[in-house]
C-alpha cells in the first residue's frame, strides 16, 4: 500500500515538471512573437557576436569616352653649335638677366675693354674682354684681365681669370698679366734671339713675376694672397731666322692654342683641373715652385697663322675641342678678315663683338687675345 502511494507521488511530480517545462516554452514563444524575433538558423551569427559589415555590392562606373589619339612626332635632330642660334640659360630666362652696376667703388674695372696693335712685320695683335652675365646680374666687376706687347720679332700675350670666390681677384688678374708681360719684355730686349732653353726660362720668369706681383699686393693690403687668386696663361711667339718659335705656360683652366696655315689646330699647354667638376687651380693655390718648369717651347715645323690665349669663359663654351674648336677659329678668322677690309681696321672691337655671343648655360666673363698673321691687302 505504501509502495503504490510512493509511485503515485513520483508520477505526479514528473507530470508537474513536464507541465512547467511546457509552460515555460509557451511563454518564451509568446515573448519572441511579440518582439518579432526568430530563432537563428544554422549558419547565421548568434546574438552577442561581432560580425564585420558585408561589403557593399559593386556598382558599375559610368562609361567615359577615351581621349582621341594624338600623333606623336619624333624630335628633330638638333646640332649644338657654339655662338649660333642664341638661347638663354634654362636656369634664368633672358628676360630676367639684370644689368647692375657694382656698389663697391674700390678697384673699379670697366665692364668691357678691347685693344689692337701692329706686331712684327706682317703680324698683329688684338684682345677683348667683357663682363659675364652672372657678374652683371649680381652687380659685380669683371674679373678677367689681359695684356700684350711687342718687342722686336716677339709677341707677348697673357690672360687671367680671377677666382669668383676671391674678394680681390680682379686686382690679382690685372697685376699678374701686366707683371708677366713687362718681365718677359725686358728679358727679350736684352736677348732678342734666345735659344729654346732661354725661352723656357723666360716663361718661368713670367710666372715668377706674376706670382710676386700678386703676393706683394696682398702683403701691402694686409690680405691673404688667396684674396687675389687668379689663373695665369702666358703665350710668346717670335720669328727668329725665318723660324717660328712659340712658348706657353699655364696655371689653371682656359686655353692656349695655335692654328697653322694648313688649318691644323693644336693646344700648346695643358689645362689644370681640380678634384671636382668646375674646380681649377690659381697662382696662389700652391707654392711658386710647384708651377715652375711647366712651360712648353716649340719650334713649329708648319708656319702658324693664328695663336690664341683665352679664359675658360670662352674655352669651355667650345669644349670638347676636337669638335668645336674649329668653328671658333673660323669665327676668329672672319674677325681678322673683316677688320682687314674695314677702314677702321679695329680687330679688337670686332673681337669684342664676337665674344658677346649668346649660348645656353654660358654666363662667365670672356677674354680672348689673338696673335695673327695679317691677311694680304
Distance from C-alpha of 2 to C-alpha of 19, rounded to nearest angstrom: 26
Fold that domain 111-373 belongs to in CATH: Phosphatase 2c; domain 1 (3.60.40)
The helix (H) or strand (E) run that includes residue 205 is helix 196-220
Range with top average pLDDT, 4-18, 26-40, 107-121: 107-121
The helix (H) or strand (E) run that includes residue 370 is strand 366-373
Q: Using 50, 70 and 90 to split pLDDT, how confident is the model at 15?
A: confident
- Quick check: 299 pLDDT over 70? yes
User: For residue 265, what pLDDT is reported?
Assistant: 95
User: For residue 157, what pLDDT is reported?
Assistant: 98
**pLDDT tens digits, residue range 166-190?**
999 999 999 999 999 999 999 999 9
Span 292-313, mean pLDDT?
A: 96
| Phi and psi at residue 29, to the nearest 5° | -65, -40
Supply the angle between the helices 321-341 and 347-354 in degrees, to the nearest 10.
140
User: For residue 327, what pLDDT is reported?
Assistant: 94
- Quick check: 9 pLDDT over 80? no
User: For residue 278, what pLDDT is reported?
Assistant: 61
Q: Where are the domains of the chain?
A: 111-373
**Percent helix, strand and coil across the chain, each to the nearest 5:** 35, 20, 45
Q: Using 50, 70 and 90 to split pLDDT, how confident is the model at 7?
A: low
User: For residue 8, what pLDDT is reported?
Assistant: 67
Paired strand residues for 159: 146, 233
User: For residue 337, what pLDDT is reported?
Assistant: 92
More confident residue, 307 or 239: 307
- Quick check: 193 pLDDT over 70? yes
Compute the C-alpha angle 225/227/231, nearest 5°. 80
More confident residue, 28 or 245: 245
Distance from C-alpha of 51 to C-alpha of 334, rounded to nearest angstrom: 89
Span 333-337, mean pLDDT?
A: 94
User: For residue 235, what pLDDT is reported?
Assistant: 98
Asked whether the beta carbons of 158 and 176 are under 8 A apart, the reply is: yes
Q: Using 50, 70 and 90 to split pLDDT, how confident is the model at 309?
A: very high
Q: Using 50, 70 and 90 to split pLDDT, how confident is the model at 165?
A: confident
More confident residue, 217 or 322: 217
Q: Using 50, 70 and 90 to split pLDDT, how confident is the model at 94?
A: low
CB atoms within 10 A of CB 374: 17
Least confident of 22-31, 68-77, 138-147: 68-77
Mean pLDDT rounded to a whole number for the chain: 83
- Quick check: 233 pLDDT over 80? yes
Q: What percent of the chain shows pLDDT beyond 90?
A: 64
Grid cell, residue 341, equals: 677690309
Give the DSSP letter of residue 316: G
Distance from C-alpha of 247 to C-alpha of 296, rounded to nearest angstrom: 5
* Helix and strand totals (H; E) in the chain: 7, 11
Amino acid at each position: 500500500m505504501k509502495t503504490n502511494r510512493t509511485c503515485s507521488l513520483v508520477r505526479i511530480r514528473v507530470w508537474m515538471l513536464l507541465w512547467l517545462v511546457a509552460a515555460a516554452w509557451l511563454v518564451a514563444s509568446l515573448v519572441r512573437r511579440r518582439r518579432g524575433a526568430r530563432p537563428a538558423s544554422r549558419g547565421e551569427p548568434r546574438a552577442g557576436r561581432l560580425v564585420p559589415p558585408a561589403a557593399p555590392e559593386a556598382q558599375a562606373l559610368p562609361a567615359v569616352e577615351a581621349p582621341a589619339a594624338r600623333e606623336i612626332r619624333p624630335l628633330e635632330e638638333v646640332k649644338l653649335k657654339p655662338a649660333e642660334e642664341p638661347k638663354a640659360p634654362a636656369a634664368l630666362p633672358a628676360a630676367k638677366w639684370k644689368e647692375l652696376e657694382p656698389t663697391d667703388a674700390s678697384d673699379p674695372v670697366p665692364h668691357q675693354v678691347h685693344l689692337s696693335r701692329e706686331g712684327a712685320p706682317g703680324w698683329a695683335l688684338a684682345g677683348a674682354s667683357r663682363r659675364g652675365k652672372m657678374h652683371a646680374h649680381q652687380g659685380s666687376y669683371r674679373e678677367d684681365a689681359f695684356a700684350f706687347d711687342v718687342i722686336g720679332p716677339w709677341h707677348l700675350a697673357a690672360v687671367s681669370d680671377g677666382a669668383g670666390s676671391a674678394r680681390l681677384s680682379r686686382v690679382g688678374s690685372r697685376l699678374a698679366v701686366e707683371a708677366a708681360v713687362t718681365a718677359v719684355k725686358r728679358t727679350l730686349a736684352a736677348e732678342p734671339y734666345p735659344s729654346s732653353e732661354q725661352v723656357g726660362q723666360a716663361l718661368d720668369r713670367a710666372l715668377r713675376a706674376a706670382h710676386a706681383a700678386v703676393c706683394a699686393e696682398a702683403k701691402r693690403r694686409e690680405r691673404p694672397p688667396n684674396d687675389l687668386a687668379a689663373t695665369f696663361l702666358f703665350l710668346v711667339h717670335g720669328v727668329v731666322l725665318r723660324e717660328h718659335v712659340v712658348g706657353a705656360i699655364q696655371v689653371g683652366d682656359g686655353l692656349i692654342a695655335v692654328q697653322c696655315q694648313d688649318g691644323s689646330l693644336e693646344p700648346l699647354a695643358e689645362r689644370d683641373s681640380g678634384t671636382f667638376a668646375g674646380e681649377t687651380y690659381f697662382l696662389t693655390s700652391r707654392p711658386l715652385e710647384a708651377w715652375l718648369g711647366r712651360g712648353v717651347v716649340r719650334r713649329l715645323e708648319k708656319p702658324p697663322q693664328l695663336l690664341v690665349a683665352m679664359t675658360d669663359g670662352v674655352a669651355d663654351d667650345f669644349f670638347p675641342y676636337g669638335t668645336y674648336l674649329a668653328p671658333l677659329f673660323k669665327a676668329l678668322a672672319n674677325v681678322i678678315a673683316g677688320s682687314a677690309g674695314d677702314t677702321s681696321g679695329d680687330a679688337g672691337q670686332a673681337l669684342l663683338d664676337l665674344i658677346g655671343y649668346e649660348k645656353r648655360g654660358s654666363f662667365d666673363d670672356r677674354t680672348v687675345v689673338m696673335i695673327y698673321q695679317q691677311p694680304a691687302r
